[in-house]
Amino acid sequence: LQARYLITVAPPVNLYRFDQLALPASARWSLIQGGQDEVVPPHKVANWMRGLAVRPDVYWREPASHYFHGELIWLRRIIAACLS
């Protein structure tokens, strides 16, 4: 069974290696990131994305922290839109 969709929220690229991340060519990928993330530095996520062979659809919310305090309605809408 292969993944058809991947949603990553604040992927901890500063803590773990994601170089083994392999998606089927037909899979869709969305990446959600807060611009004020205090756990996963946003600039590290941006730098990591630049080196990817496959580009995700990016949903960047500048005022959002790692836990999306005050942004959960936005987060829910984005995830629902990604899955529709």
Q: For 18-68, what is each residue's pLDDT tens digit?
A: 877 777 778 899 999 999 999 999 999 999 999 888 889 999 999 999 999
4 vs 81, more confident:
81
How many CA within 13 A on the CB side of residue 66?
A: 8
Rounded distance, CA 62 to CA 81, Å?
19
Within the chain, residue ranges assigned H as helices are 42-50, 72-83
Strands 57-61 and 5-9, sheet pairing: unpaired
